[in-house]
Structure 1
Amino acid sequence: MNWNHLTAKDQIDQIKISSSNKPVLIFKHSTRCSISAMAENRLERSWVKEEIPSMDLFYLDLIQFREISNYIAHVFEVPHESPQILIISDGKCIYDNSHMGISYHEIKRVFESLTAV
């Protein structure tokens, strides 16, 4: 997976804007949590870029950037969890899940529902 690293709050504002053109996925990862490492590994092993070609992918190390994690929870009105994925479209969080609920197939389903015409 080709992750963009979230390291500044102003990136969240840019994500909101760019999500009007294509969906954005944010993966919040705790480097101290084995469940988070397992969720990241499962997601990366399952990811097929050709099936989800136009989704920007952002990775947040929430141990190092906890204030950004808190800002994400506030801006997108979701509870803070770790690990957690959020899918942002048109500036809003349209899907979030955490822990063992993080699933490539669910992400693909949401992506397909956004791109269906």
Structure 2
Amino acid sequence: MELLTSKEAFEQALKDHEELILLKHSLTCPISGEAKGQLETFEASHEDVPTFIIHIQDNRDVSNFVADYFDIKHESPQVFYIENGEVKFHASHWDVTSKKLESVTVK
């Protein structure tokens, strides 16, 4: 999981990858910790899908930029499955599960 700390790094990730998963993660929220664990479970068996994370406390500007970029209200935790620069799936809180990520990425 690669940490995104700038708007430019986010835009570069979109350019570099046909598909990716992005997690907005709160470093202090236990629900967000569970969501991160779910993404790590998914990631362990899907190494072909790049994963990125934004620590919202440290990079609020990047998190807000993503919300504006996709016109999707900010939540935390919040996961996005992005294909060809478009959000194909997003979920927040307890809806962030490895099974849901599996269902949207399997082709």
Task: Work out whether the TM-score is over 0.5.
Answer: yes
| TM-score, normalised by the number of residues in structure 1 | 0.83
Q: What are the superposed Cα offsets for residues 9-35 of structure 1, whole Å, 9 maximum, x if unpaired?
A: 101211221233xx1100111112121
Q: Do structure 1's residue 32 and structure 2's residue 25 form an aligned pair?
A: no
Q: How many residues align?
A: 107
Number of the residue aligned with 1:49: 44
Rg (Cα) greater in structure: 1
**CA separation of 1:61 and 1:48: change in aligned 2, threshold 3 A:** closer
Which whole-Å CA distance do the structure 2 matches of 1:33 and 1:7 have between them? 19
Number of the residue aligned with 2:60: 66
Q: 1:90 aligns with which of 68, 84, 93?
A: 84
Number of the residue aligned with 2:2: 4
**CA separation of 1:60 and 1:96: change in aligned 2, threshold 3 A:** same
Which whole-Å CA distance do the structure 2 matches of 1:55 and 1:6 have between them? 16
Which whole-Å CA distance do the structure 1 matches of 2:43 and 2:20 have between them? 16
The residue identity in structure 2 corresponding to 1:89 is E
| TM-score, normalised by the number of residues in structure 2 | 0.90
The residue identity in structure 2 corresponding to 1:104 is S
After TM superposition, the structure 1 = structure 2 runs for residues 93-112 of structure 1, keeping only pairs within 5 Å, are 93-112=87-106
Secondary structure, aligned partner of 1:96: strand
**CA separation of 1:48 and 1:90: change in aligned 2, threshold 3 A:** closer
Which whole-Å CA distance do the structure 2 matches of 1:4 and 1:87 have between them? 15
**5+ residue gaps, structure 1:** none
Number of the residue aligned with 1:18: 16
Q: Do structure 1's residue 76 and structure 2's residue 70 form an aligned pair?
A: yes
The residue identity in structure 2 corresponding to 1:56 is P
Percent of matched pairs sharing the same residue? 27
**Root mean square deviation of aligned Cα:** 1.5
